[in-house]
Structure 1
Amino acid sequence: MGKMRGEMRVINFNIGLGWASSGVEYAQAYREKIFRNLPVEDYYVFLGMTKENMASMAKNIGIPSEKIIWVYNFFSDIALQEAKMNLAQVLLEYGVATEFVMEPRNKDIQVVNNKDRNEYLRVYFKKDLDLVERVELVSHGNLIRKDFYTSTRWMSEFYEPVDKKAKLTLREVYNEDRGIALAEIVNVADENLNTYLLDDRIYFNKAELIAEFVRRLQPTASDVLILDRATDIAEPILLNKEAAKTGFVVHAEHYSKNNTDDEHILWNNYYDYQFTNIDIFDFVITATELQKVKLSEQLEKYNNKIPKIYAIPVGALEQIKPVQERAENHFVTASRLASEKHIDLLVKAVGQVLKDGYDVSFDIYGEGSQRKMLEDLIRSLNVSENVKLLGHQNMASLYSKYGLYLTASKSEGFGLTLMEAVGDGLPIIGLDVPYGNQTFVVEAENGYLIPLSDDDEQVVKQLAGRIEEFLGMNDKTSFHQNSYRLAEAFTVEQLQKKWLDLFEELTNADTI
């Protein structure tokens, strides 16, 4: 990870990355695109363990693998890369001979069975390809080991049977010569207390390992460190950042409204450490101007501090795409299918609109734990012909098909899909909640905001009423045009200016 002359390193810290990534990871992917034409050298650090191929997941979310720094790969000389070995190459490592039986492949899993020795290999392939990502060794019904592959075996996990369950006890990360680059002895009770062996030195917990990791990054005064997540990782980073400028991003509601009064505030647990130690940080980033104002007032009132806070949206629009014709009675939402998103309220509202005689359709994009519940709800309301669950899709070319975006989330720190929707000129109907809805919806100009209520029936009734009001408009052009105008503040060019202003202020602070 070299540094080019004249370029600032911007190192963004996170914990995990997965196939069902949250808005934090997507915000980092947007940031990477924004930084591509800026004079910075940006990296994205992940400090947690994932059992999936990190390079593949980075590619899935849109961050080039060469910009990913993963603590579990960092100490090895094996490059971060996608799977490259086929089954025949991998099986050579296990001495698989003719007595092994190849079971039929089931999607991306194949079992290589040795019935005489009562053991088998369970092989996991890269999706839809013949390249191996992981092999599990099972003996006498017990999981013994998991081996992970790219161009070679780069990591193994060792398990022991405890109370008839496989318990992870040891993790080894390898070099090209199969020497051990990093060993992790697992504390079953608390993985933050795992022990690590690196270069013949023992690190007695995860914080010590992170501290060593940060030291090896060799941060300097020209570097900027950004914490997108900070739980359990902030302190070792701050203690070893040297003269680098350090800040954090607020990705969600930062306090509990119901547990805050005139004298005391209850910060969101994810930000409590940062706000308690606000003096250590050089800057704070919120996604909206509304949250910046609220947070500034609260830090001054409750902490007697006035930190540098910048409002920089976590997403950006590469272009604003005018649409000539659209189906005004065709509605859309894109979201994790999770309880806090309250997609069920939208389904019920659309069901009421259909019951009232309107010819409308509603497409729901996304996956999540509430899919089964939503499927059952759609069937029970007898709206299966009009309301569809369409799973994960690349939304870039889809918004233009629709006439209206619906949301029922009761908390939205920013709302990337809201930004994308207005970028395609969609009006929005949602709840009057901070901060995304209030940023992207101007009442009666490009949509409607419904008062927040604990009475779900009332919310459904008002959602349906506003949808019908929208449908009853003779000319919806002004709503679409107002969304386009609002979107102009969220283009890549506008966000590049905001980031450059931040970097310039941080640089100038050293000369004052």
Structure 2
Amino acid sequence: MRVFDFTLLSGYEFSGVDVAQGFRARLFAKNNVNAKFIFTELPTIRDMELYGSQKIKRGQIMSAHLFMTGRLDMSLSVKKEALLENEKENYEYDNIDEDGKVIRLYNSGEKSVEILCDEDGFVINESLFKNGKKYLVNYYTDSLSYTELYNWDNDSNDGLNPERRIFWNKQGQMVYEQCIYKDNVEYLFKNGEVIDNVEFLERFVKAINLCENDICIMDRAGYLDYIQPLFENKGKSKLIAVLHSDHFYKIYEDESSLYMNYEYYYWFKYSEAIDYFVVGTEEHKKSLEAFLKEYDCFVPHIAAIPPGALPEGKLKSKNERRRGSIISASRLSPRKGIDILIKSVIKAHEINQTINLDIYGSGNDEYTSYLQNIVKDAGADDYIHFKGRCNLEKIYPHYELFASFSLWETFGLSLMEAVGEGLAMVGLDVRYGNRLFIHSDENGYLVDFDIETDFQNKDTMGERAAAAIVKIFEDDNRLKKFHENSYMIAEEYKEHVIESKWMQLIKNIP
């Protein structure tokens, strides 16, 4: 059995989807599942670092572009010493400077070559410069894999993006070229054949030679170029589609969609080709099944498997939780309801001056400024703070209460992490994650919320939310009970529980 996970994204902001893929990569490796996580676009160095931070190893990553040169993964094996020795005759330099993972060669005071390595001294790429400008970059895996060419004489190129790439096989022979235009790319083969990106990915899907024992997992939908080729050439392999967002939105719930989430339109239209949908919660499973029936779509098997899990053997926090402390952790976007949370905390602070809020996460500058101005205009800077984005593993235990005021949460990895650290919980009574992790009167409170009436009347709703926050901090014994109950709720999301669900699915898929 082989597992192919489509697709790792290149050039996008990191999200919970990437965290979910990292979790799955670790559990597959632990259980000796032959799994590859696929880039259908060439990854940048930043992309590789981000997925590496989620413990997706280069040996687990497959590039469609490099597979077509005969490479099954993106493992590095060219040592910096070997590259310098093999190519020293080609370099013109009279000085060499090594600074951590970067080696720079200079000729008459000008940088001529820059070699980037990983922490083990394996070469990632080498950039060549002329008159201070980069004109060529060679990328390495087990050998020279592809070359990027830059043309500074082309007025349409700002020097930041290549205009052409040449892909090499392991013997150093050219396999094909990629020509990069403003709105599209083309592939040129030695026989003169020219194809577009969809045709290229069709060749890739055919080349991996899918059979009935193989499983393809789709983590990305939308209008990505790999979707149609995979559906048309899956053969007898099994297809699992993972929904990381909701499939349906009411008014105000999403900035770009109303009713059907068109990201999943192709999946729903051709759902008879899909063997399993995977969602994060039982509530989402029931909702999706009803939705597919309502729209006369074929209803495949649907499994509810959380996109992440809590580590085993984690001890209860012995840290002193800061009195009256609230934490939120999310992207700073309108859907996350941070403005509602801020206004609620301002109202709650009028009653209980120990209440304070730290907001973790980042977003676009305009919305972030809007939120900061709410705090500033209320004179709340001394008890509401913006903390930016960081690893929260050691941060959660210092807080008493986690707040989720999202208009909806498909699952809510941060909510799961918060209950795992024993925080009390408060949030809007919305699908799916809030209802999963916030059990009213057990570990916190769900605040009544109706999107169609409350969204336009946030002040009244903010008063209800403020009352819930104040109530949580009124009774120390009740708050302690909430903390203990969160630890108990978290037991359902330990690694061995979620791991078992995934392994049962891929082993028993019909």
Give TM class, smaller chain. Answer: 0.7 to 0.9
Secondary structure of the equivalent of 1:437? helix
Report Cα offsets for 1:152-191 as digits up to 9, x if no partner: 65433233423573464212233455433442112322x3
Residue in 1 aligned with 2:214? Answer: 223
Residue pair 1:335, 1:365 contacting (<8 A) in 2 also? yes
Distance 1:277 1:259 in 2: 28
Residue in 1 aligned with 2:44? Answer: 51
Residue in 2 aligned with 1:466? Answer: 468
Distance 2:359 2:400 in 1: 14
Q: Which moved more, 1:132-141 or 1:210-219?
A: 132-141
Amino acid at match of 2:270: N
Given the alignment, which residue of 476, 480, 483 partners 1:480? 483
RMSD between aligned residues = 3.8
Query: 1:415 and 2:412 equivalent?
Result: yes
Query: 1:210 and 2:201 equivalent?
Result: yes
Q: What does 1:15-414 align with in structure 2 at a 5 Å threshold?
A: 15-17=8-10, 20-38=13-31, 40-52=33-45, 55-76=48-69, 80-81=74-75, 85=80, 89=84, 92=88, 95-98=91-94, 123=114, 144-148=135-139, 153-160=144-151, 161-163=154-156, 165-166=158-159, 168-189=162-183, 191=184, 194-197=185-188, 200=191, 202=193, 204-230=195-221, 231-258=224-251, 266-319=259-312, 321-324=315-318, 326-327=320-321, 328-370=323-365, 373=369, 381-414=378-411
Report Cα offsets for 1:337-361 as digits up to 9, x if no partner: 4443343443444344445452244
Report Cα offsets for 1:447-495 as digits up to 9, x if no partner: 2223143244445444333221111123113322332232222222222
1:336 is displaced (CA, Å) by 2.8
Distance 1:33 1:417 in 2: 19
Identity %: 26
1:26 is displaced (CA, Å) by 0.7
Cα distance, 1:134–1:394 mapped onto 2, change above 3 Å: same
Q: Which moved more, 1:72-81 or 1:464-473?
A: 72-81
Residue pair 1:86, 1:131 contacting (<8 A) in 2 also? no
Amino acid at match of 1:237: L
1:203 is displaced (CA, Å) by 5.5
Amino acid at match of 2:311: E
Distance 2:328 2:359 in 1: 5
Query: 1:496 and 2:499 equivalent?
Result: yes
Amino acid at match of 1:401: H
Residue pair 2:428, 2:446 contacting (<8 A) in 1 also? yes
Amino acid at match of 2:437: F
Cα distance, 1:154–1:505 mapped onto 2, change above 3 Å: closer
Cα distance, 1:93–1:332 mapped onto 2, change above 3 Å: farther
1:420 is displaced (CA, Å) by 1.1
Secondary structure of the equivalent of 1:188? coil
Residue pair 1:19, 1:60 contacting (<8 A) in 2 also? no
Distance 2:32 2:83 in 1: 45
Distance 1:501 1:196 in 2: 41
Secondary structure of the equivalent of 1:428? strand
Amino acid at match of 1:216: A
Residue pair 2:332, 2:368 contacting (<8 A) in 1 also? no
Report Cα offsets for 1:183-242 as digits up to 9, x if no partner: 2112322x3xx2224575746122222222222222221111111113332111122222
Amino acid at match of 2:422: G
Distance 1:353 1:121 in 2: 61
Distance 2:357 2:252 in 1: 37
Residue in 2 aligned with 1:5? Answer: none
Q: Which moved more, 1:48-57 or 1:397-406?
A: 48-57
Cα distance, 1:386–1:41 mapped onto 2, change above 3 Å: same
Distance 1:268 1:356 in 2: 41
Normalised by the length of structure 2, the TM-score is 0.82
Q: Which moved more, 1:167-176 or 1:296-305?
A: 167-176
Q: Which moved more, 1:308-317 or 1:166-175?
A: 166-175
Distance 1:81 1:378 in 2: 48
Report Cα offsets for 1:16-49 as digits up to 9, x if no partner: 1568421111111112233344463222112123
Distance 2:125 2:377 in 1: 41
Cα distance, 1:156–1:456 mapped onto 2, change above 3 Å: farther
Amino acid at match of 1:437: N
Residue pair 1:18, 1:52 contacting (<8 A) in 2 also? no
Question: How many residues are matched?
Answer: 488
Query: 1:428 and 2:428 equivalent?
Result: no
Distance 2:378 2:129 in 1: 47
Cα distance, 1:505–1:169 mapped onto 2, change above 3 Å: same
1:307 is displaced (CA, Å) by 1.9
1:362 is displaced (CA, Å) by 3.1
Gaps of 5+ in 1: 1-7
1:256 is displaced (CA, Å) by 3.1
Distance 1:341 1:121 in 2: 48
Residue in 1 aligned with 2:443? Answer: 446
Secondary structure of the equivalent of 1:195? strand
Normalised by the length of structure 1, the TM-score is 0.81
Secondary structure of the equivalent of 1:239? helix
1:403 is displaced (CA, Å) by 1.2
Cα distance, 1:155–1:24 mapped onto 2, change above 3 Å: same
Report Cα offsets for 1:62-90 as digits up to 9, x if no partner: 11221111223323467624695389949
